[in-house]
Amino acid sequence: MKKIFKYLIIILAIILLDQFTKGILINLITGRVPAFAPAWELIPVPYLMAHVTDFFNVVFTWNPGTSFSLFRALGESAPIIIIFITAFVIGFILYYLFRRAAEYERLPLAFIAGGALGNLIDRVRFGAVVDFLDFHIGGAHWPAFNVADVFICLGVGLYILNWFLARRRCMRANKQ
């Protein structure tokens, strides 16, 4: 039970950090934090908030698609379809995390679950995800992203690295 609690705290911390940063941005623009509202009625997109460096801006944009604005072409049904698919995937990740995962898989899965839940909360609240981190080189911009996306990417990268290292240890053990 103690192990599960540790990973639940990590997931909750990621969700809170993600929602806190998005809430600050919405509050700075609108002067309020809405509970539930159609996203596009609140703030025009994209909204440049601050030019931080020559390669980084803080912007405000709504992403009705998935990571990096994929699946925007689904139209009005996209948020509902994405919510159900995301909830199913999160459910599977949580089941695997708490029932079957090896120790080296747990932290990466907690990162992925926390980030996915943070973005799912936006989809349920607003019908889209708030993105605000904008990295660019000159006029070439990487798609804007958020804290939840950072943890999803960190989790996937860490999962792959841990899997590779565990496999390598196993291969060494088999040779001896």
Bridging pattern class, strands 56-63 and 129-137: antiparallel
With beta carbons less than 8 A apart as the criterion, state whether 101 and 137 touch. Answer: no
With beta carbons less than 8 A apart as the criterion, state whether 113 and 93 touch. Answer: yes
Q: Which residue type does 91 have?
A: G
Which of 151, 174, 126, 146 has the alpha carbon at shortest distance from 14? 151
What SS3 class is residue 70?
coil
* Cis amide linkage into residue 64, ω under 30° from 0: no
- pTM (2 d.p.): 0.88
Burial track 81-108 (b if 16+ CB lie within 10 A, e otherwise):
ebeeebeeebeebbeebbeebeeebbbb
Q: Cite the active site residues.
A: 131, 149
Ramachandran angles phi, psi of 54, nearest 5°? -70, -10
SS3 of the chain: helix, strand, coil, percent, to 5: 65, 15, 20
Ramachandran angles phi, psi of 129, nearest 5°? -100, 140
For the chain, 176 residues long, give each residue's pLDDT as a single digit of tens. 677 899 999 999 999 999 999 988 888 877 766 666 655 566 655 666 788 899 999 998 888 777 655 666 666 777 788 899 999 999 999 999 999 999 999 999 999 999 999 999 999 988 889 999 999 998 898 889 999 999 999 999 999 999 999 888 888 888 87
